[in-house]
Structures are given as C-alpha cells and as structure tokens.
C-alpha cells in the first residue's frame, strides 16, 4: 500500500512537471527567438549563443513597416483596456449593490440570468453586434470595442460583487439608516470602501480580458493606426517570410503589462476572489 501511494505521488509530480514544461516552453521559445539575430532565426537552438537586442531596437524605434504604429497601437490597447476596466467596475458596483441590498420584483431571476448569459459564446454574438455597430455608424471606433468588452465582462463582475457583498453584514446598512444616513451615503461611504478587494479583482479580470482580446478589435477596427497591438501582430503572418524575431519581440513586450498589473494587484485579486467564494 505504501509503495503504491509513493508510486502514485511520483506519477502525479511527473505529470505536473510535464504540464509545466508544456505551458512554459512556448513562452521560453518566444523570448529566445526575440533575442536571436535575423540570420539565426531558423537555427533550432534552444539557447541563444549570440544574443542581440536588434529586434527590440527595431520594434521600439518603429524601424519596420509592420511596427510603424507600434507605440500608437500599444496605447490603443492600454486605452481600451483601461476604459473597459472603468465601465465594468461602474456597471458591476451599481448592479451588485442593487441585487444584494435592494428589494424588487424579479431580483432572483435577474441574478440567475446574469451568469446564464455566458451560455452564449461571445463569438456567437459577433455578427449581430457587427450589424448593430454598422447601423449605429460606430465601426472603426474604439468605443464599439469598449462597449463589447464591457458587455462580456460585466455578468461575471456583477456576480462577483453580489457574492462578495453577502459577506458584508446588512446590519451595517441598518445601523446607518437608523442614524439618518441615506442610500447614497451608505453606497458611496460604506459599500464601495468595503468592496475594494472585489473591485480590484474585477478590474484585474476586465483588464486581462481586454488585453488578450482579438476577435472584436479585429472585426470592428480596420484603420491601421487605430488597431490594437494583438490585431496588428496578426499582420506579421500574412507572408511566408514572416519576421519571427520582430514578431516575438513585440509579443514579449506586449506580455509585460499584464504581468506587472498582476503583481501590483495580486494581494487584492486573491483577497477579492477568496472572499467572494466564502458565504456567510
């Protein structure tokens, strides 16, 4: 029995190690290729013998026609992600407060349907949304992308606030009402400060969702200066002679903001998710 348990533990550790290698290797290879000189791109070496910053200099100075709008496209991605975070937080905090604290007919049905919207994949709704944006004359605008991403992130964000607020004792609201505080005072001066960990988790989720989004920016934006960076990187691959070192350097740079964002807000992210998972 002891031998069987030991063997099982070894197999589990080996499987986890293989899975970790499977996940990390593409990231490692991306970084390796980004440091290879142009003449060594197709050498199957897993270690860079002559590391070069040539690719990063070319990308950062916009020295190749595929990266001539690099900085503007990076700022487009940051702007769209930031606006998605702002609007998602606004929608989720108001809706979450209403579902958790106010009494009105149909509240249970609304709260149930909130997550039920995820039955429909966002790709499934792309054509109707494209037609709607065409009718509203909003194609080729960042606003159309921000609205789409906010719509898809908000159901989970509302649910998270709703679950988190169940850990905030309603007696706090009742005491404030007895002391003469209005709903607005309770909401802005009590509910929002107590919900900051959940809001941080929502902000991180919305930022990462927007940062990794490809379909809707690709579908809604067509002017090259207005593209997000992931969509622009897709144009690297339209020829058989793709500049893989530049592509990998751009991808490496683009992967840095979410890593930094995660480590800055990791404590709040974990606290918010953990608190939402614990019911009173």
pLDDT at position 77: 96
C-alpha–C-alpha distance, residues 217 and 221, integer Å: 6
Sorting pLDDT into bands at 50, 70 and 90, what band is 273?
A: low
Sorting pLDDT into bands at 50, 70 and 90, what band is 213?
A: very high
pLDDT at position 1: 65
pLDDT at position 236: 83
CATH superfamily assigned to domain 65-277: MetI-like (1.10.3720.10)
pTM for the complete prediction? 0.87
pLDDT in tens, 70-85: 999 999 999 999 999 9
Q: Cβ contacts of residue 276 below 8 Å, gap of 6+? A: 160, 163, 164, 167, 198, 201
pLDDT in tens, 76-117: 999 999 999 999 999 999 988 888 877 777 777 777 777 777
Domain boundaries, the chain: 65-277
Mean pLDDT of the chain: 85
**250 pLDDT higher than 70:** yes
pLDDT in tens, 150-189: 999 998 898 888 888 877 777 777 787 777 777 788 888 8
Task: Find tokens 């209005």 and name the residue.
Answer: 182
Sorting pLDDT into bands at 50, 70 and 90, what band is 242?
A: confident
pLDDT at position 76: 96
**137 pLDDT higher than 90:** yes
């Amino acid at each position: 029995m002891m031998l069987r348990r030991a063997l099982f533990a070894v197999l589990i550790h080996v499987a986890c190690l293989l899975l970790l290698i499977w996940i990390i290797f593409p990231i490692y290879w991306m970084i390796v290729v980004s440091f290879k000189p142009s003449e060594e791109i197709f050498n199957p070496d897993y270690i860079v013998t002559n590391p070069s910053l040539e690719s990063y200099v070319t990308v950062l100075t916009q020295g190749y026609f595929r990266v001539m709008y690099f900085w503007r496209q990076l700022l487009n991605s940051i702007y769209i992600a930031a606006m998605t975070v702002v609007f998602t937080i606004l929608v989720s905090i108001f809706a979450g407060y209403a579902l958790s604290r106010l009494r009105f007919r149909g509240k249970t049905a609304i709260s149930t349907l909130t997550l039920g919207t995820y039955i429909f994949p966002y790709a499934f709704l792309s054509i109707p949304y494209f037609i709607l944006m065409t009718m509203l004359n909003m194609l080729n605008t960042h606003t159309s992308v921000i609205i789409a991403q906010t719509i898809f992130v908000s159901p989970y964000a509302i649910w998270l606030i709703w679950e988190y607020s169940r850990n905030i004792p309603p007696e706090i609201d009742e005491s404030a009402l007895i002391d003469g505080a209005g709903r607005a005072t309770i909401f802005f001066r009590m509910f929002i400060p107590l919900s900051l960990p959940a809001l941080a988790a929502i902000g991180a989720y919305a930022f990462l969702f927007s940062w990794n989004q490809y379909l809707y920016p690709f579908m809604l934006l067509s002017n090259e200066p207005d593209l997000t960076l992931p969509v622009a990187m897709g144009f690297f691959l339209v020829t058989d002679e793709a500049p893989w070192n530049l592509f990998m350097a751009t991808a490496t740079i683009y992967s840095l903001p979410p890593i930094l964002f995660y480590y800055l807000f990791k404590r709040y992210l974990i606290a918010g998710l953990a608190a939402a998972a614990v019911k009173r």
